[in-house]
Amino acid sequence: MSAPAETVDTLIHPGWIIPVAPSGQVLENHSLAILDGQIAAILPRAETARIAAAEVFELPGHALLPGLVNAHGHAAMSLLRGYADDLALMPWLEQHIWPAEGRHVSEEFVADGVALAIAEMLRAGTTTFSDMYFYPDACARTAQRMGMRCQISFPVLDFPTPWAREADEYISKGLALRDAVKHSRLVSVGFGPHAPYTVSHPNLAKVAMLAAELDTSIQIHLHETRGEVLQAVEAHGERPLDSLHRLGLLGPRTQCVHMTDLGEQDIALLAETGAHVVHCPKSNMKLASGACPVTRLLAAGVNVALGTDSAASNNSLNPVSYTHLTLPTTPYV
Ligand SMILES: [Zn+2]
């Protein structure tokens, strides 16, 4: 860190500073100086007496740390919070969420839902989020307007939704968005094939080829439940992770979301290919999907990130809270 300027825009005096690097450190009696929108210095508070600042924030009792990254979600579904609670994944999706989306989702729905989600995520300390949802152009516009960093994984599905009719249309619309925001400082765009049970193997292979050509990220729901894995073995004679590997979809640009049903051979394959895992514990608990073996993944050298999934399968967009939003069980009078 270079020496601070004598005049800065902002000085913050928190109770503690928790930096990313060096890791594992908590700094007390330290301050942070900001100049031109960038961190100019982290220094002992005693040394800030010589610095003039336009703004000074005294934050005793607060910890100052870099913004959190919510590595998986469907932000616009903040408008579906509490819809169809207490169901397992497939009846929740097939009998409730997908029909509701068919009736209600539009560009305006997405813009409003993303704005609400961003407000909630900021309150939880999240400054970057990953999103996979219909009308991703509305998400990109809203994130840019609100100054929020966002990785968009545009959805790819085999069946029609309000946004597109079949896989090729999802892909062409998504790639048009990628071109439109390629110079954005805040938004990046990659592929979001929904899951191996909603995207055919030929279409997954197409995504793998295009993502490799464009050197673009891929995010996919994978091994979310044991039922998904057993069904795939019955249909294709192999586990979904093995299918993805065979189709060229597993590698360092791939983010595998959920991963609750994992054997030792799956963990070894993730480590060998450099694919990432996004752990969404509250979603997995709410939908009774299973539990991701995070300790074993980390021990094998697999990179594991944390996500909330949508507000409809979590009820909160705070990645580090362990309490569910409590809604009244009887109507207000
Ligand atoms: Zn999800």
Same domain for 227 and 78, yes or no, is yes
pLDDT of residue 50 exceeding 70, the answer is yes
185 occurs within a structural domain: yes
135 and 165 share one domain = yes
Strands (E), the chain: 7-17, 27-28, 30-35, 38-44, 52-64, 68-70, 126-131, 149-156, 187-193, 218-222, 254-258, 276-279, 304-306
Give tens-digit pLDDT for 117-151: 999 999 999 999 999 999 999 999 999 999 999 99
Q: Are residues 22 and 86 both part of a single domain?
A: no
Asked whether 36 and 93 are in contact (CB, 8 A), the reply is no
Q: Which domain holds residue 13?
A: 7-64
Number of domains in the chain: 2
Q: Are residues 86 and 225 in the same domain?
A: yes
What is the percent of the chain with per-residue pLDDT over 70, rounded to a whole number?
A: 95
Mean pLDDT for the stretch of residues 147-161:
97
Cα(251) to centroid(ligand 1), Å: 20
3-class DSSP state of 177: helix
**R_g (Cα) of the chain, nearest Å:** 22
Q: Are residues 50 and 152 in the same domain?
A: no
Rounded-to-integer distance, Cα 158 and Cα 42, Å: 50
Tell me the pTM: 0.89
CATH number at residue 37: 2.30.40.10
d(CA 259, CA 271): 13
Alpha carbon of 291 to ligand 1 centroid (Å): 15
How much distance in Å is there from the Cα of 47 to the middle of ligand 1? 47
212 with 246, same domain?
A: yes
| Across 274-286, average pLDDT | 94
Q: What is the pLDDT of residues 56-88, one digit of tens each?
A: 999 999 999 999 999 999 999 999 998 888 888
Distance (angstroms) between ligand 1 centre and the Cα of 253 equals: 18
The confidence score (pLDDT) of residue 26 equals: 96
More confident residue, 25 or 6: 25
207 CA from centroid of ligand 1 (Å) = 18
Whether 224 has a pLDDT exceeding 90, the answer reads yes
Instruction: Based on the fold, state whether residues 134 and 33 are members of the same structural domain.
Output: no
- Centre of ligand 1 from the C-alpha of residue 257, in Å: 7
Q: Same domain, yes or no, for 11 and 88?
A: no
Backbone angle region of 89, left / alpha / beta, with phi > 0 → left and psi within -120 to 50 → alpha? alpha
- To the nearest 10 degrees (0 to 180), the angle between helices 136-146 and 167-180 is 20
- Angle of helix 201-214 relative to helix 167-180, nearest 10 degrees, comes to 20
Confidence of residue 3 (pLDDT cuts 50, 70, 90): low
Residue 332, domain member (yes or no): no
Q: Are residues 45 and 186 in the same domain?
A: no
Q: What angle do CA 242, 243, 246 make, to 5 degrees?
A: 85
Ligand 1 centroid–CA 261 distance in Å is 16
Residue 315: pLDDT band with limits 50, 70, 90? confident
| Per-residue pLDDT at 322 | 57
| pLDDT classification of 332: cutoffs 50, 70, 90 | very low
Selection from 10, 97, 43, 148 nearest residue 309 by Cα: 97
Task: List the shell of residues around ion ligand 1, using CB closer than 5 Å.
Answer: 309
* 176-203 per-position pLDDT tens digit: 999 999 999 999 999 999 999 999 999 9
